[in-house]
Structure 1
Amino acid sequence: MRRLTARCAVREDTILLPGADRAAASDPTGASQPGDLTTELIETDWWSDEAVARAGIPVVDVPFVSVGGGIGSFVTADYLRICGVPTSAIRVLTQLEHPWESYEYLTRVSQIPRGERLRSDSASCPDNIWGFPSYAVREAIADRSLRPLLQVAVEPIFADYYTPRAGHAFASMEKEYHRISYPDMVVKGQVRMVRRRIGGGYFTILTPPENTSRTRRIAYRSTYVHVAVGYPGLKFLPDLMEYRERHRDYGSVVNAYEPHEQIYGRLRAKPGVVLVRGGGIVASRVLQRLIDDRDAHGLQTQIQHVFRTFVTGSHGPNIWMRRRGRDGWAYQGFNYPKSVWGGQLKSRVRKLEGKERADLYKIFGGTNTPVRRSWQEQLRRGRREGWYRAFQGEITAMEPHGSGQVRVELKTENGPQQMTVLGVIDCTGLEADIAEHRVLADLLDHGGAGRNPLDRLDVDRTFEVRGTRSDPGRCYASGTATLGGYFPGVDTFLGLQIAAQEIADDLARDGFCKRLGPLRSTRQWWRWARGKHI
């Protein structure tokens, strides 16, 4: 093993997630106290040990550092532990209390609490790299029911795709979290930057929590760095931000990825109209919540649903790459066609470069939602009874109107329309540019990193960030920041696991960990199945 010796805040137009880049606006870069960054360090791409020492920044040596601490860091640490790496050789630098914190926040506020089901298949198990027993098998055992197994057997022709409950996924991750001694690897704090080290490897600069360290910064000197910071942020559409900034009304016009229970509370208090915008999984979940409340409380809620693109039928470049569509929705079981995780599309994308790869992403990407019979029946009932209306349009203006209402002007295919609503729920979920995150921005500015054809972080087939190598060290990245690379589906449970496997395989070739061959894999699965610590 090689070793170097020597909660939800709003900033401008972006929602910052739990553990995200909170300190970017307030964290000074000038050296004002011992252990702070100096101008020399800030402006230099390659750091020497002497320059760090002159700044008075204490150095901690550890072979492998993972930045982020979310599910991407968790599954990568899980692979490395299974491949024989001790906890002493890994440090996870994070602000999160546990790896699933940000993800659970997003699912909860977008109306997928622990009792509801995620958009992930049975074998995509962040707690179990082998995928067996799958979520369906474990649910069948726990509930003493054959129903999950029958659903998997006949999906998707005679039943909807099986998907696990959110709470089941989080509880399973928590069990593995303790089995691999993940807390022993965690160091709390805000990561400021990752810089290449003269002589090989990297310095990762951490700002520890207040009153926990005698110095403002700590430098982690490592051979390998893994960056898995999740979403840089969730960007508001300009019309939503313009309304909120002008009228200081943050409760009536909301993004579905921020807490918005007040909208449902208003609709329970009195009859009203709500406008939902978007055509993805979050929009379908918000609609289901509105209709469930309507049915459970006998409400008279009227739902107006605006699509930017209104899909009326199956569409695609040819009969082999067609996506079903109807009533405004584009239907697809998962975020991407299943072959991107291990079939023809995965193989095809790995061979494409530049514009060809970007064009293929456009074909199989785009907003879509799974076919789920329960909420489709709700929408059919709503159309039949007249309290749900879907149409294509674009919001052109929003103004307060009366007590707690909003007047919305829209441009539609039938001409301009106006409506007065109790609330607007925007489910478009636009993602901020990667440069919104300070660590990714610094990699672009000083770390040698570049952008891929979709303008995200450019990684190679092993998920090493191109242009950042500091021999013998390597910098890897996984998660949504790498979308557009040689592997689609990066921002999924299985995608994070595949990235972790590629990284672990590359590290095994470099001699950092054991190779996960048949014997080790079988032995480690038995340990996992019996809950034995490693």
Structure 2
Amino acid sequence: MSRGDLTPELLDSSLWADELVQRAGIPVFDVPLVSVGGGIGSFTLVDVLRVRGVPTTSIRVLSTSDSPWQTWEYLTRVSQLPAHERIRSDSGARPDNIWGFPSYALQEAWQERTLKPVYQVLAEPVLADFYSPRAGTVTRSLRREADRIGYWETLAKGQVRMVRKRAGGGYFTVLTPPAGTGPTKRVAIRSQYVHLAVGYPGLKFLDDLQDFRQSHGERYRVVNAYEPHEHVYERLRSRPGVVVVRGAGIVASRVLQRLIDDRQRHGLQTQIVHLFRTWVAGSHGPNPWMRRKGGDGWAYQAFTMPKSAFGGQLKARFRKAGAERRAGLAKVVAGTTTPKLRRWQEQLRQGRQSGWYHPVQAVVDRIDRAPDGRLVTLTRSEGAAPMRYVSDFIIDCTGLEADMDEHRVLDDLVRHGGALTNRAGRLLTGRNFEVIGADSQGGAVYASGAATAGNHFLAVDSFLGMQTAALDIADDLAGRGFCARLGPIRSVTQWAKWAANRRPG
């Protein structure tokens, strides 16, 4: 066993005494609050706490990422949303600005000396598509705010192994630093509060595609939209080909747009087969007040959730509802959707008319390999004969893996930390995003992001959702005396410092 490593006694114990950690030779560092993850969820909490007067010395962000936007920027880029493209987010959803003013639209209007973004916000969605910011604008804004609040002073690089309760209150968070950066394999951060914003544990593949990849060692022709797959587009530019796209969300629409843009820009002969497991023929919903537009297989929605889920009637209803009612509401309003953008809709219409875009409702039975190395997708659909599609590539656009047992830290927190799970299989949290069952004699574990889905707030996996969680967590911490409350005077003075790009305090 390496010096300063986890011992069998530590691994088996759910409650760690200081002496137990010391006997293992693991160095212990003290800091009041630890945030695990280092993505936008961690960033929004650090931002809110700095605005509320918490010094950087009282916060540590534990992460393998070099910046809060690193993972987000990577995922948007590989899923065909490079810096110049617009993301699926509201104008006022600014993770770098808790006030949401000026909005992204106002900022773009000022910087580019045009009123077009302002008009678009005022006219959406009847006379114009919903406004959304460019991906590059988001990352530049995050960098500015990270520099302003001193985020880099809070960052500690490494892989978090686990969070365990401490005898006497608080927690030990075990970190594996980068190789060669210290004399021991592990270090432990002793804190009163822990925040978990760990995102998704990995890619989510459809079962038949995962089986095919594993059995054939296939990584070139069968790809996930969230992994690098630029080779697909490069190959199609060099010769005609067939692509099967699976999925019906925002990522599928972005992949289709990239394929069609390349086809039109370079005069390609690419054929696209788009497989829908569930076909949406038109508007759908349980009643006239809760209906979502749809058509041609797609369910249309501007954002991941209806706008009222972020701060309207739906948010209030969800917060007041019991577990069973919440599950029913979530089933109605959640699900796979994509924005209905005019340009993209026209591209699909042209593809259907010209016969190179083939939308099909079907269930895939299996994937085989043709003698020439290409892929054979065998499908079945109700009332129709089985079909066989031969393609050069399959792009899986079904999303990211969200199961908690796939994430080591979350799984350990449930097994040893007393954390409870909700009906959605995620962490059960209270009104302030405190993890139920994980409290430790005055200490608390908080969580935000995908791991908290299915609780009192619907849109957790969004910019506004992570900001909402950060504000609620900070309110709870203020009640515990850790930070100041955000009253009118502090809010105005801190916004002025944000506008002047001055350090908070």
Same fold (TM over 0.5): yes
- 1:528 matched to which residue of 2? 498
- 1:152 matched to which residue of 2? 121
- 2:110 matched to which residue of 1? 141
- Give the counterpart of 1:344 among 310, 313, 321: 313
Residue type at the aligned position of 2:467: Q
- 2:166 matched to which residue of 1? 197
Q: Indicate how the Cα distance of structure 1 residues 343 and 432 shifts in structure 2: closer, same or farther if over 3 A, else same.
A: closer
- Give the counterpart of 1:322 among 283, 291, 306: 291
Residue type at the aligned position of 2:312: G
Give the CA deviation at 1:34: 2.0
- Give the counterpart of 2:407 among 437, 457, 461: 437
Alpha-carbon distance in 1 for matches of 2:369, 2:238: 19
Matched, 1:465 2:425: no
Matched, 1:236 2:202: no
Matched, 1:209 2:178: yes
- 1:518 matched to which residue of 2? 488
Give the CA deviation at 1:76: 0.2
- 2:335 matched to which residue of 1? 366
- Contact 1:65 1:222 (C-alpha < 8 Å) held by counterparts: yes
Tell me how large the CA RMSD over aligned residues is: 0.9
Alpha-carbon distance in 2 for matches of 1:480, 1:247: 32
Partner of 1:357, secondary structure, is helix
- 2:300 matched to which residue of 1? 331
Matched, 1:100 2:69: yes
Cα deviations across residues 144-181 of structure 1 (Å, max 9, x unaligned)?
11100000001011111000000000000000010001
Partner of 1:176, secondary structure, is helix
More displaced 10-residue stretch of structure 1: 188-197 or 253-262: 253-262
Give the CA deviation at 1:430: 4.7
Residue type at the aligned position of 1:417: M
Alpha-carbon distance in 1 for matches of 2:378, 2:176: 46
Alpha-carbon distance in 2 for matches of 1:504, 1:277: 41
Alpha-carbon distance in 1 for matches of 2:34, 2:214: 40
- Contact 1:110 1:257 (C-alpha < 8 Å) held by counterparts: yes
Give the CA deviation at 1:350: 1.0
- 1:503 matched to which residue of 2? 473
Alpha-carbon distance in 2 for matches of 1:239, 1:250: 14
- 1:6 matched to which residue of 2? none
More displaced 10-residue stretch of structure 1: 68-77 or 250-259: 250-259
- Give the counterpart of 1:301 among 270, 278, 281: 270
Matched, 1:266 2:235: yes
Give the CA deviation at 1:404: 4.5
Matches within 5 A, 1:248-267: 248-267=217-236
- 1:488 matched to which residue of 2? 458
Q: Which runs of 4+ in 1 moved over 6 A?
A: none
- Contact 2:17 2:166 (C-alpha < 8 Å) held by counterparts: yes
Residue type at the aligned position of 2:458: P
Cα deviations across residues 279-302 of structure 1 (Å, max 9, x unaligned)?
100000000000000001000111
Give the CA deviation at 1:432: 3.8
How many pairs align? 503
- Give the counterpart of 1:411 among 380, 392, 406: 380
- 1:65 matched to which residue of 2? 34
Alpha-carbon distance in 2 for matches of 1:216, 1:424: 41
Give the CA deviation at 1:351: 1.4
- Give the counterpart of 1:376 among 341, 345, 352: 345
- 1:479 matched to which residue of 2? 449
Partner of 2:285, secondary structure, is strand
Alpha-carbon distance in 2 for matches of 1:297, 1:86: 54
- 2:417 matched to which residue of 1? 447
More displaced 10-residue stretch of structure 1: 269-278 or 144-153: 269-278
Cα deviations across residues 90-147 of structure 1 (Å, max 9, x unaligned)?
0001100100111111111110011101100000000000000000000111111110
**What are structure 2's unaligned runs of at least 5 residues?**
none
More displaced 10-residue stretch of structure 1: 312-321 or 389-398: 389-398
Alpha-carbon distance in 1 for matches of 2:109, 2:402: 39
Partner of 2:262, secondary structure, is helix
- Contact 1:357 1:453 (C-alpha < 8 Å) held by counterparts: no
Residue type at the aligned position of 2:149: I
Partner of 1:132, secondary structure, is coil
Alpha-carbon distance in 2 for matches of 1:242, 1:472: 47
Residue type at the aligned position of 1:409: L
More displaced 10-residue stretch of structure 1: 162-171 or 343-352: 343-352
Matched, 1:185 2:150: no
Residue type at the aligned position of 2:19: E
- Give the counterpart of 1:290 among 259, 275, 295: 259
- Contact 2:203 2:224 (C-alpha < 8 Å) held by counterparts: no
- 2:324 matched to which residue of 1? 355
- 1:113 matched to which residue of 2? 82
Alpha-carbon distance in 1 for matches of 2:194, 2:332: 33
Give the CA deviation at 1:415: 1.9
Residue type at the aligned position of 2:265: A
Partner of 2:430, secondary structure, is coil
Alpha-carbon distance in 2 for matches of 1:426, 1:208: 34
- 1:11 matched to which residue of 2? none
- 1:14 matched to which residue of 2? none
Alpha-carbon distance in 2 for matches of 1:438, 1:247: 28
Partner of 1:286, secondary structure, is helix
- Contact 1:266 1:422 (C-alpha < 8 Å) held by counterparts: no
Alpha-carbon distance in 1 for matches of 2:207, 2:294: 28
Alpha-carbon distance in 2 for matches of 1:33, 1:111: 43
Alpha-carbon distance in 2 for matches of 1:392, 1:434: 31
TM-score, with length taken from structure 1: 0.93
Give the CA deviation at 1:389: 1.3
- 2:10 matched to which residue of 1? 41
Residue type at the aligned position of 1:436: E
Alpha-carbon distance in 2 for matches of 1:155, 1:309: 28
Alpha-carbon distance in 2 for matches of 1:463, 1:235: 26
Alpha-carbon distance in 1 for matches of 2:77, 2:36: 24
Alpha-carbon distance in 1 for matches of 2:163, 2:217: 38
- Contact 1:252 1:404 (C-alpha < 8 Å) held by counterparts: no
Identity %: 59
Alpha-carbon distance in 1 for matches of 2:171, 2:264: 57
**What are structure 1's unaligned runs of at least 5 residues?**
1-31
Matched, 1:167 2:139: no
Residue type at the aligned position of 2:178: P
Give the CA deviation at 1:234: 2.1
Give the CA deviation at 1:33: 2.2
- Contact 2:200 2:400 (C-alpha < 8 Å) held by counterparts: no
Partner of 1:75, secondary structure, is helix
Alpha-carbon distance in 2 for matches of 1:52, 1:212: 20
Matched, 1:393 2:362: yes
Cα deviations across residues 200-228 of structure 1 (Å, max 9, x unaligned)?
11110111111101111111011111010
- Contact 1:276 1:427 (C-alpha < 8 Å) held by counterparts: yes
- Contact 1:64 1:225 (C-alpha < 8 Å) held by counterparts: yes
- Give the counterpart of 1:425 among 368, 389, 395: 395
TM-score, with length taken from structure 2: 0.98
